[in-house]
Chain A
């Protein structure tokens, strides 16, 4: 159940074989973020939207959370950032950041972490910037408050950061207000702000969903570049498995508040073992645009926090058997760092369903 790679690390003999571990990472070992058995309730405790999620991220690693809307990936992300919306609370489990338990950190405590140690970018960059103040001033303000830089040094550093995230003519961009920049440029401004204090972790919640594909490809490249150059760890959330595939070292698949499958990206794409992951792959963009019958996942996801006995995906699962409807389903190890929450994960049917694609 607990996805904990600490004990497995010494097993890695050939780093090239595992996408999760890259040579040149700032430091291998010691997780940046570790979430253990996280339970998050919504509607003032009326429903449990995240149930027993565990995951960890090492420096220089990009971990992707994927799932339908309402699957709990954003709540997990927000819990990790300590910014749960009103009415939501961590009921059980811990969130550790750089070895420290931050689950019950005070507002003041979070202030020392936010921005300087943990950066975040979200879907709609324009709504996180003040529309009437130049973007350069907004970034410089962060630098002055968080790093204590002087006016001139902050200005200089802001321009350097704008250049580092690939904004052309950063001196001009500095003096522009958000309305004068395109969505892709604004997202770059947000990323520049998020990495301005050289954080250990960047939490990116659907940062490219609202962007054009050509810009999305550029932002993905920028994140990869930041990972390689700074050893930045990224927690990346997306509903699009195709985007996750392009970017992430490891994938965590969410369904109805639970992690149903996790493993190295290549392993998940080539050998998905959970029927939900297999269905997600069938509906994802496959790079083929010719006329064909489009696949859908039959049925609707359960209500947030619904009490379901047995597997939460069973009602929509083409491979469900009576045994899926009762008891609790635990995660089983099916490959190297590859875990699946399915009682049929090792059955011949799941494997042949895969072959039939």
Chain B
């Protein structure tokens, strides 16, 4: 793995059996169920899943914008999700955990200049000294590779890659100890995407900052993530070191994600056809307790009528699938036939 992450130390962030329900009454929808996730200092974790899988909700829960229905979020020993009132506001103002929101064009105020955007967190924290704010702003911009020429521009006047850098600089201004980036590169073209990813990798190395990168697309994690966590319909289905997960995925959904990722080379071990359900397959078990992936899984059997628990397969490698050591052979067999 990486030399920077210290896995024998206690994790910096621990999300413990968190359930999140959004909405009330008949509109209530369970968005996250039984999420267990730990982030250690100095690692880059990729959180992958499709739209609606709960990636963003998980990020919002970690920074305290959403309250878990069950379970808790512990940051550096402090259960931050159970804080209330003044204690919670104080914790938020400290800005230890920073979230870089999706789509900077929509999340940055179009009327504010870059200086105001990046400095806002400091002002909220009670910093009134304008010179100091400006110093921190220039410093944060330098960290993300932007010079002072963008200071007085508004988000509409800079390029997409620069906007994403401004978003990251805004998060860095309060000296966070954990950075969560929600889809940081999904709107960027390939070269700019790689630039932003390299920047995140550099920030991890130079500041020792652990970073969670949320993405629906595996290529946004290519080359930089140490660990990958796959989310499907509000549940973690696989979690492990990236090289292990990508060389030998143990959950059929992870394999489907890999097979679906577009690539300029056509040398996939498994094709999406081998993994996708066809109309010929027998109907999967359904019901409120069924495995979240069963409806799309080609390998579902009767046992899948019950949601599998996450089982540990080895060093920091977990998977939630009843057939985690069986489905691959079936898929390969199908490819031959």
Q: Which residue of B lies closest to A245 (CB)?
A: B264
In whole angstroms, what is the CA distance A214 to B218 when docked? 11
B260 A242 Cβ-Cβ under 8 A: no
B260 A216 Cβ-Cβ under 8 A: yes
Q: Which residues of A contact B216 (CB under 8 A)?
A: 212-213
Would A213 and B257 be within 8 Å (CB), given that A182-B51, A182-B52, A242-B262 are in contact?
A: yes
A291 B263 Cβ-Cβ under 8 A: no
Chain A 252-277 near chain B by CB (<8 Å), digits 1 or 0? 00000000000000000100000000
In whole angstroms, what is the CA distance A210 to B188 when docked? 11
Would A68 and B263 be within 8 Å (CB), given that A291-B223, A293-B223 are in contact?
A: no
A69 CB-CB contact with B under 8 Å: yes
In whole angstroms, what is the CA distance A290 to B189 when docked? 20
B18 CB-CB contact with A under 8 Å: no
Would A289 and B198 be within 8 Å (CB), given that A214-B256, A216-B262, A242-B262 are in contact?
A: no
Q: Which residue of B lies closest to A299 (CB)?
A: B191
In whole angstroms, what is the CA distance A281 to B264 when docked? 8
Chain B 180-210 near chain A by CB (<8 Å), digits 1 or 0? 0000001101111111011001000000000
Q: Which residues of B contact A243 (CB under 8 A)?
A: 262
Shortest distance between the CB of B218 and any CB in chain A (Å):
6
Shortest distance between the CB of A224 and any CB in chain B (Å):
13
How many A-B contacts if CB must be within 8 Å? 121
Would A294 and B264 be within 8 Å (CB), given that A69-B160, A212-B216, A214-B50 are in contact?
A: no
Pick from B120-128, B265-273, B304-312, B320-328 the stretch touching chain A: B265-273
Q: Which residues of A contact B218 (CB under 8 A)?
A: 213, 289
A310 CB-CB contact with B under 8 Å: no
A213 B264 Cβ-Cβ under 8 A: no
A213 B261 Cβ-Cβ under 8 A: yes
B242 CB-CB contact with A under 8 Å: yes
Chain A 157-196 near chain B by CB (<8 Å), digits 1 or 0? 0000000000000000000000000110000000000000
Q: Which residues of B contact A210 (CB under 8 A)?
A: 186
A280 CB-CB contact with B under 8 Å: yes
Shortest distance between the CB of B284 and any CB in chain A (Å):
14
B194 A296 Cβ-Cβ under 8 A: yes
A297 B191 Cβ-Cβ under 8 A: yes
Q: Which residues of B contact A69 (CB under 8 A)?
A: 160, 189
Q: Which residue of A lies closest to B191 (CB)?
A: A297
B267 A212 Cβ-Cβ under 8 A: no
**For chain A, which range describes its interface: under 10, 10 to 19, 20 to 34, or 35 or more residues?**
35 or more
In whole angstroms, what is the CA distance A201 to B128 when docked? 60
Q: Which residues of A contact B221 (CB under 8 A)?
A: 289
B246 CB-CB contact with A under 8 Å: yes
Q: Which residue of B lies closest to A183 (CB)?
A: B51
In whole angstroms, what is the CA distance A171 to B134 when docked? 59
A217 CB-CB contact with B under 8 Å: yes
In whole angstroms, what is the CA distance A288 to B272 when docked? 17
B263 A287 Cβ-Cβ under 8 A: yes
Contact among A209, A242, A295, A297 for B219, CB-based, below 8 A: A242
Shortest distance between the CB of B203 and any CB in chain A (Å):
14
B226 CB-CB contact with A under 8 Å: yes
A341 CB-CB contact with B under 8 Å: no
Q: Which residue of B lies closest to A297 (CB)?
A: B191
Would A240 and B260 be within 8 Å (CB), given that A287-B267, A290-B242, A294-B198 are in contact?
A: no
Closest 5 interchain pairs by CB?
Answer: A287-B263, A217-B260, A285-B219, A242-B262, A239-B189
B residues with CB within 8 A of A: 2, 50-52, 159-160, 186-187, 189-195, 197-198, 201, 216-219, 221-226, 242-243, 246, 256-265, 267-268, 272
Q: List 12 A-B contacts (CB under 8 A).
A: A213-B262, A214-B256, A279-B191, A285-B261, A285-B264, A287-B261, A288-B222, A289-B222, A289-B258, A291-B224, A291-B243, A297-B191
> 9 other contacts beyond A209-B187, A214-B256, A280-B190, with CB at 8 A cut-off?
A182-B51, A220-B262, A239-B189, A242-B261, A281-B264, A283-B190, A283-B194, A294-B223, A296-B194
